[in-house]
Structure 1
Amino acid sequence: MIRVQILAVANTSSETANSDKCGLAVQDILAGQPEPKFAVLSIQTVPNDENAIVEAVKAWAKSKDVDWIITTGGTGFGAQNRTPEALSRILEHNAPGIVHFLLSSSIAITPLAALLRPAAGIIGQTLVITLPGSPKAAKESLGALLQSGIVVRALELIRDGSENEVEETNGATEKRAGSDAEVQPESHQPQHVPQVSKPRTSNGALSHDPSLGVSARHRQSPYPMISFDDAINKILSEIRPLDIISKSVDRALPGHVIAEDVHAPQDIPVGPTANVDGYALRSTDPTGKYNVVTSRTHPLGEALPPNTIYRISNGAPLPAGTDAVIMVEDTRLVSTSKAPTGQEEEQTVETMAQVDLRENIRAPGSDVMAGERVLERGDLVGSGGGEIGTLAFVGRKKVQVYRKPVVAIMSTGNELSDIQSGQQNTAGGWKGVWDTNRPSLKAALEGLGYHVVDLGIVPDDTKAHEGTILSGIMQADVLVSTGGSSMGAADLFKPVLERKLGGTVHFGRVAVKPGKPTTFATVPFLDAEGGVVEKPVFGLPGNPASALVTFYLFVVPALRCLGGWPRNRCSFPRVNVELTEDLRLDPDPEFHRVHIRASQRGLTASSTGGQRSSRVASLAGANGFVVLPRLADDGREKLTKGETAEAIIIGEIEGETFLT
């Protein structure tokens, strides 16, 4: 039986919760192992503090009741991660081979595992090994250790091993003592290989190898052409919502998706309240003249004296003993008196109507009953105020929501100049072109409520691409690049993703116009807890109109999916519109930029003019795309004026005000 202690290292409450999951995951894996058996004695959590880590590990090792100490967390690049530093103070013998094995096993999954800082060694007769703080990464590393047999063999050597046994374990090619027989060299591959995926590098890349020169580039795209629907389904199947956070109910909340069911903690109203401005009284009181009291002159919990009514405002609670409210409009002022403030105050009022029991009263719970669900998981907090008002109505100051993604944007191309800096590219005497895509995408993203990281213009250079893309996925949840995704000699986006960053290109061409070379990929990334996450990356066409159209068609659904939107609401809505002019068809399905208006006969769509992919002006004033089918085999070449077509709404619909 191998006795194990687990030490989870964490600082914040969210990290502590993750560490608890990590410790339990490690315990579950050990419990399911065949011979030899592992017994987890306890799971303890300590802050990411060197002294706390040292004290816990030393106490366990000193007790001599523990064979193996596993720590989880605190091995990342963050300044607060101190587990390796703590262990370096107390390890009597380091185990660099185990460290190398942990790194190589993790790097087989993602190159970014090189950012981990594992530690391993021996204190007395106790083995100490660190694992990442992410449950997924910890399970992968632990699985590799167990399946390779390294841990069991290391513990055997710690207990009663010898130098000769170590040499035999290493498979040294030498003669055994007292024997003339040659020992055959063992394979460098362990007998029990950890079941981890291989790195996705150039071996499986479809993109050309830019190091081979222009002549080696593809003459035909190696990426299969897929349909628009298949592309959307692929995006939504690869992306998962981001983490859940708690946010204040304030002006920053709109645009978030609620991640919990929200229930009313009590009846609203708690007690009977007035539904109008007027006077609270007893429904048995006849019409006539009454003295007037107010909340300033009569305690709410005391019954009204005879021949008295209580002035009340809409929404205010009723005083004890009253069961109806008469409207101000059904009374007449009889007399006044001077209040201490010097103002004239009502003294006597005549009621001119008989009111029924509970008339003009909101009963307890009539708006919301205690426990009633007022908002549910998946509801979008809109900018109209309804959801904010509902949360405030039931007394919620904070609510659980899905985190909205941060978006990094970059443009590629030596020919581009930055309009903000005013510096033009004048290489070769040509002034180049202003980068249109970053300003337009940033405006669109910020208009939709997303935070943007602007990575600037990236030259046509492999290292520049690699460094900027890596910087983008480190700072943001999704990266959007424009240009460099087609068949040009300097199109480096796909090669860098596949060959340098271990990314997977899920599609590299889509049968749409504009935007055929649109690319969607995911790149493995090591998070702060040592877990591997796949970050989505989009390569949009460089032509300005194509970039914006494909942004709305492909990127926005991905951003919504990351933000927790229900799958069926991630894409923009579609409506039927009446065409105001003929629209020609193309061999590929086309998304024609239009201006959609509301008129007395319904929604109409007018073309924004020339649809050339470089003409960004075709999107000025556009609030939708008419979905044109591909050129039919029957020879039909256009949709005609007055015909009904399907359109995607991407902006606010304007229209006439219809007065009757």
Structure 2
Amino acid sequence: MSAPSRLRAAILIISETANKDPTTDKGIAALQEVFSRIAGDRWDANETRIVPDNAHDIQSSIKGWCDGTDPINLIATSGGTGFAQKDVTPEPSLMLGIRHAMLSTSLKVTPFAMMARPVAGVRNKTLIVTLPGSPKGAKENLEAILPQLAHACQQAAGADSRSLHVGGTQQLEREAGLKAQSTVQDTSKHQHHHHSHNRSHGHGHSGHTGPKAHTKPEDRSVSNDPNAGPTQRYRESPYPMLAVEEALKLIAEHTPDPTILRSAVNESIVGCVLAEDVTARESVPAFRASIVDGYAIVASNHPLVPSTKGLFPVTGISHAQAGEVAKLGTGEVARITTGAPLPPGATAVVMVEDTVLRSMTEDGKEEDEIEILTDAIKEGENVREVGSDVRAGDVVMRKGEGMTAVGGEFGLLASVGTQEISVYKQPVVGVLSTGDEIIPHDRSGDLKLGEVRDTNRPTLLTAVRGSGFEAVDLGIASDKPGALETALRDALRTVDIVITSGGVSMGELDLLKPTIERSLGGTIHFGRVSMKPGKPTTFATVPVKPNDSSDRKRKAIFSLPGNPASAVVTYQLFVLPALQKMAGFSPPWGLPKVKVVLEHEVRMDPKRAEYHRAVVEAKEDGLLYATSTGFQRSSRIGSFKGANALLCLPPRPGTLARGEKVDALLMGKIISAL
């Protein structure tokens, strides 16, 4: 049998960004690599094009390849398959062909291939498939279906089905490079092969791949399928247990970079960090000014100039207010107040303490003559020269400096005439509780069996605002895959970072991880941390295309444990550094670390690092002393009452004795016993 002829494929990238700058596109190279590697002897994939997220441009490109005298066999589009307003690829494709179940095929290869709106269809003699916009997702989907596409394209081109199927299904699989399906007699062999890739749960159902520790996120197995039911969920987490330091490195690496914006110099910039240097528009002072109350005079350092000692007529007045001041001549003085401009001609100011009033004007309302009691007044004395504080053009604040609530930075910018500055946008944080058992903390009436008052959401909202960031209350989401997905999608379009609590452990209703991975197309960078409390803490990023923008952005999700103390500890330890990075703070991010002396014995955990709630106070000897807040169970929010620090206890058996020093992370002001 002769080798099948080569088929022609076209790659269509739908991206506003790549359309403007083709050098940013990585999708074409990724898909061409798949064609070459998997079926290089069957396919030519040299036809490529990049278009914006525009239905007309997409349709025009597809029609051009499909309707000519020599139509392309396969068109693979990448991008525009999400739910944002500009994700229009499925719509024009549906007008050209029919939808079929591509999801089930691609998921047989990798769970990461699950897509929101995959479409495939036929126009004339051309097969069209839509792939996701990320190069990784597009590559995985194409890998899942490419072996079967040659046969589909041959049929679409009009080849005789009877002749194509002469060798049966097994012949088609061999031509496509696929392993033939096992027969009933091959069951034991198939089972052995299957278990080499999957972990059995012991209930007659296969599980999911359990990744090894320290794998990259893109190489790990995804979490439970939210639609699979309790018998298919993991019996142990597929996520490697990371040390706290490793988790913090991943947060620093994957937290989105800060966004720069222009802001007016007003109260709204308090808490912001400068994104560029600020130079003075004006000198301070802008005029020669007196630094004391007294009398402006024409003084000189030259020995032949008359002395300043003696009787002088008061010829004018200069107050610290706008207006014209008369010129001062030799032998005259003008009364002047602190901060007022020197009259033209004046070179120095005599303090009022060095003078005596000798006469008044005829109406008795003003000074007529004063006597200066000293001849030591020199040129420039008691005068603040133009630009002596700040000169126009000087750098008054550097990139990376923050605008504190104390007010000094705001006052400095205002003094030099700065009206607008570049700052890093402060992230807006959404806080969401999850669980059908959760009820608002302020709901009246007694609790029903199984109900739990929501303490995490108000506590985390308070913590975020106390850290200086804007917090948005996202309410409570149900433990249902669709409801949770909708809540997260809506939140990610309006806030910069989402904090959830609950739903990250191993229960059948713990759906946050699978929803992030499978429904939102996110990447979980870590799903377990070797710490106490807070082991199931999860950090992920999700690609989001805002309604008002064509540029897809990464946004962060922190899924914190449901136990109250765990949620607060992990916020302070992991979320706060991410917020500080997004706000443009300079590293190191996070809580300040100090050494403290233990006031009593503290027991340690032999396996996990512990963050023990404590009260730290300063004593007369200049040292800081720490006292535990008591019982440290992760569900006990009362362990935070009065706490201003977290003791960093290393993972080892035994206890730390009273008087030993340990590291502590300061969450609040140090109590003074002085």
Whether the TM-score (by the shorter chain) exceeds 0.5 is yes
Gaps of 5+ in 2: 1-14, 30-47, 68-73, 94-132, 143-152, 161-171, 177-215, 301-306
Aligned to 1:641: 658
Contact 2:536 2:560 in 1 (8 A): yes
- Residues 68-467 of structure 1 aligned to structure 2 (within 5 Å): 104-106=77-79, 111-112=82-83, 115-117=86-88, 172-174=157-159, 205-284=221-300, 285-292=307-314, 293-295=316-318, 302-337=326-361, 344-353=365-374, 354-422=376-444, 426=448, 430=449, 432-467=451-486
Gaps of 5+ in 1: 1-17, 34-67, 76-82, 122-138, 149-167, 176-184, 189-199
CA distance in 2, matches of 1:207, 1:299: 74
Tell me the CA shift for residue 327 of structure 1.
Answer: 1.9
Deviations 1:513-553 (A, max 9, x none): 11111100111111332222121101101011110111010
On the 8 A contact 1:510/1:516 being kept in 2, the answer is yes
- Residues 263 and 371 of structure 1 are in contact (CA less than 8 Å); yes or no, is this contact kept in structure 2? yes
Deviations for 1:58-87, whole angstroms, at most 9, x for unmatched residues? Answer: xxxxxxxxxx99985xx5xxxxxxx769x9
Q: Is the 8 A contact 2:298 2:332 kept in 1?
A: no
Q: Secondary structure at the match of 1:545?
A: helix
| Preserved contact between residue 271 and residue 363 of structure 1 (Cα < 8 Å) | yes
Q: CA contact under 8 A between 1:544 and 1:613: conserved in structure 2? A: yes
The answer for the alignment partner of 1:57 in structure 2 is: none
Query: How far off its partner does 1:379 sit?
Result: 1.0
CA distance in 2, matches of 1:539, 1:521: 8
Using the TM superposition, give the Cα deviation of residue 640 of structure 1 relative to its aligned residue in structure 2, in angstroms.
2.3
Go from structure 1 to structure 2 and tell me whether the alpha carbon gap of 1:638 and 1:202 turns closer, same or farther (over 3 Å shift): closer
Cα pair distance change 1:441/1:93, threshold 3 Å: closer
Kindly state the Cα deviation for residue 269 of structure 1 after the two structures are TM-superposed.
2.2
- The 5 A counterparts of 1:519-534 are 519-527=538-546, 528-534=548-554
Give the match for residue 559 of structure 1. 579
Residues 581-618 of structure 1: per-residue CA shift (max 9 Å, x gap): 22221121111111222222222222222211111111
C-alpha separation in 1, matches of 2:534 and 2:24: 48
1:211-243 deviation line (CA, Å, top 9, x unaligned):
222122222211101111111110010023232
Query: Is the 2:256–2:554 Cα contact (8 Å) retained in structure 1?
Result: no
**Counterpart amino acid of residue 333 in structure 2:** I
- CA shift in 2, pair 1:509/1:366, >3 Å: same
Counterpart pick for 1:624 among 641, 645, 656: 645
How far apart, in 2, do the equivalents of 1:424 and 1:449 lie?
A: 35
Give the Cα–Cα distance (whole angstroms) in 2 for the partners of residues 533 and 540 of structure 1.
Answer: 23
Task: Mark the CA change 1:169 to 1:277 in structure 2 (over 3 Å): closer, same or farther.
Answer: farther
Aligned partner letter, 1:416: I
Per-residue deviation at 1:639?
Answer: 2.1
Code of the aligned partner of 1:275: I
Deviates more, 1:413-422 or 1:530-539: 413-422
**Pairing of 1:15-34 with structure 2 (within 5 A):** 25-26=21-22
For the 8 Å contact 2:218–2:523, the answer to whether it is kept is no
Measured in 2, the distance between the counterparts of 1:461 and 1:432 equals: 17
State how far apart, in whole Å, the 2-side matches of 1:114 and 1:320 are. 67
CA distance in 2, matches of 1:604, 1:363: 50
1:650 aligned partner = 667
Deviation (angstroms), 1:120: 8.8
Of 540, 552, 557, the residue aligned with 2:560 is: 540
Cα distance in 2 between the residues matched to 1:171 and 1:596: 75
What's the offset of the Cα at 1:205? Answer: 3.8
Where 2:651 maps in the other structure, the secondary structure is coil
Matched position secondary structure for 2:444 = coil
Amino acid at match of 1:286: T
Change (3 A) 1:70 1:173: closer
TM-score norm. by structure 2 comes to 0.69
Root-mean-square deviation over aligned CA pairs: 4.1
Q: CA deviation at 1:461?
A: 1.4
Q: Distance in 2 between matches of 1:204 and 1:347?
A: 91
- 1:609 maps onto 2:630 in alignment: yes
C-alpha spacing 1:459/1:171, structure 2 compared with 1 (3 Å): closer
Count, aligned residues: 522
Looking at structure 2, the residues matched to 483 and 653 of structure 1 have their Cα atoms a distance apart, in angstroms, of 31
**Identity over the aligned pairs, expressed in percent?**
37
Displacement of 1:278 in angstroms is 2.3
| Residue deviations 1:428-486 (CA, integer Å, cap 9, x gap) | xx162211001111111122232222221222211111111111111111110001111
Change (3 A) 1:504 1:23: closer
Residue 318 of structure 2 aligns to a residue whose secondary structure is coil
How has the CA–CA distance of structure 1 residues 521 and 424 changed in structure 2, closer, same or farther, with 3 Å as cutoff? farther
